[in-house]
Amino acid sequence: MNPTMNSISSETFKTTPSHPEHTIPLDFTNVPKLPDSHAWTLPHQPIDPFTQEPLPIIDLAKPDVSKLVRHACEEWGAFQITNHGIPICLLNEIEYQTRRLFSLPAESKLLAVRSPEGFTGYGLARISPFFSKLMWSEGFSIIGSPVEHASQLWPEDHAKFCEVMEQFQEEMKALSEKMVAIMLSSLGLTHEEDVKWFEPMKEGCDQSTCVLQLNSYPVCPDPGRAMGLAPHTDSSVLTLLYQGNISGLQVQRDDAAGWMPVEPVEGALVVNVGDLMHIVSNGRFKSVLHRALVNNEHHRVSTAYFYGPPRDAKVSPLRKLIDRDHPPLYRPVTWKDYLEAKSKHFSKALESIRL
């Protein structure tokens, strides 16, 4: 594994501690009826499949990738990619190891619980305190090597889990860099010249901070009233999501049109534009509002890789995108500043740094 990944500490992402009930998930095994604490009122927002174009699926091997990516980022803030070069056997392994972790008994998973002031380990989504109802999901956050928590879960048998998680992060990092380069060049920007922090090729300068989040959505007795992961935008520059072959992810293009399901495509990855890319592009690319629903048949798992800039880098709208008609919309922030703003203002975080 890239040695610089180990220099990324949980410190980078510390935000205000959550209350315990918003940190430790329910024991989801054998819950016959949805508890009131987890019962949401979900507005019925059907989309009209005949008037809505589906979320773009972009084949990275095709020649017109740049144009398609730009269109998807401007119109949706998300798209799926195929021919991305991540071997299917690695995707299968990551899913296998994710299922292995979440299938452990609740008392074992609690041995690896995220501490109130920590960042990595087992727990509920960090956005949980912003909602009065609890989500039907559990998560496990990893930065670099997961060995500290994995050795609590499997004292004798964590090597393979760690190897797969580390290898996956390396592959996701390289693909994220490629996707950022495509996105920026689609706007006529040269990433090395125009984005100071973006120097992926420079040996030894690779300090970007990234998080691998494993998500689990257990089988739910009343999926119509439960929420897997509540509507949010990702704080990252971009997120790469592998959702396996079980539906649940939905995105919103605009409020009026309702929620659009992102149907799994075999071997594809979903790319979400994150809030930091929204800032860098001065609002040209939209960070996508999305959520995950649950079902009563299958245990769904997903892995989300949050790609960020180096911890101290100031992220701001790019100069080439600013002119008299397009003044800068956001003040410069580090990812740490932005995560703090998110933990305070949640869906109003972008607004909180608006000029």
Ligand X SMILES: C=C1C[C@]23C[C@@]1(O)CC[C@H]2[C@@]12CCC[C@@](C)(C(=O)O1)[C@H]2[C@@H]3C(=O)O
Ligand Y SMILES: O=C(O)CCC(=O)C(=O)O
Per-position DSSP letters for 86-126, written without gaps between them: --HHHHHHHHHHHHHHHTS-HHHHGGGBPPTT--SEEES-T
234 binds ligand X (CB under 6 A): yes
122 binds ligand X (CB under 6 A): no
Nearest to Fe ion of 177, 234 (CB atom) = 234
Nearest to ligand X of 76, 217 (CB atom) = 217
Strands 78-82 and 57-59: parallel
Q: Spell out the residues 6+ positions from residue 257 whose beta carbon is closer than 8 angstroms to its own.
A: 47, 52
Of these partners, ligand Y, ligand X, Fe ion, none, which one is at the site of residue 13 (CB under 5 to 8 Å by kind)? ligand X
Q: Which amino acid is at 143?
A: I
Stretch of 113-121, 151-159, 241-249, 251-259 lying at the interface with ligand Y (CB under 6 A) = 241-249
Single residue of 78, 279, 292, 318 touching ligand Y by CB under 6 A? 292
- Is 300 labeled as catalytic in the residue annotation? yes
Cα pseudo-dihedral 256, 244, 208, 189, rounded to 10: -50
Compute the C-alpha angle 105/109/112, nearest 5°.
160
Residue list 200-239, contact with ligand Y (CB under 6 A): 213, 215, 229, 234
Q: Spell out the residues 6+ positions from residue 67 whose beta carbon is closer than 8 angstroms to its own.
A: 186
Residue where the block lists tokens 């087992």: 122
Q: Spell out the residues 6+ positions from residue 343 whose beta carbon is closer than 8 angstroms to its own.
A: 15, 16, 126
Nearest to ligand X of 127, 293 (CB atom) = 127
Helix (H) or strand (E) segment spanning residue 350? helix 349-352
Of these partners, ligand Y, Fe ion, ligand X, none, which one is at the site of residue 127 (CB under 5 to 8 Å by kind)? ligand X
Q: Cα–Cα distance between 156 and 168 in angstroms, integer?
A: 22
Stretch of 65-73, 185-193, 230-238, 336-344 lying at the interface with Fe ion (CB under 5 A) = 230-238
Single residue of 253, 286, 300, 342 touching ligand X by CB under 6 A? 342
Stretch of 53-61, 68-76, 234-242, 290-298 lying at the interface with ligand X (CB under 6 A) = 234-242
Nearest to ligand Y of 218, 248 (CB atom) = 248
Strand 249-252: give its sheet, edge to edge: 229-232, 289-292, 249-252, 259-261
260 binds ligand X (CB under 6 A): no
Of these partners, ligand X, Fe ion, ligand Y, none, which one is at the site of residue 289 (CB under 5 to 8 Å by kind)? none
β-sheet bridge partners, residue 332 = none
Single residue of 101, 127, 172, 279 touching ligand X by CB under 6 A? 127
Q: Which of 70, 114, 291, 300 is catalytic?
A: 300
Going by the DSSP 8-state scheme, the letter that residue 130 receives in this structure is G
Stretch of 34-42, 49-57, 120-128, 260-268 lying at the interface with ligand X (CB under 6 A) = 120-128
243 binds ligand Y (CB under 6 A): yes
Single residue of 95, 166, 171, 234 touching Fe ion by CB under 5 A? 234
User: What positions carry a catalytic annotation?
Assistant: 300
Question: Which stretches of the chain bind ligand Y, using CB under 6 A?
Answer: 213, 215, 229, 234, 241, 243, 248-249, 290, 292, 302, 304
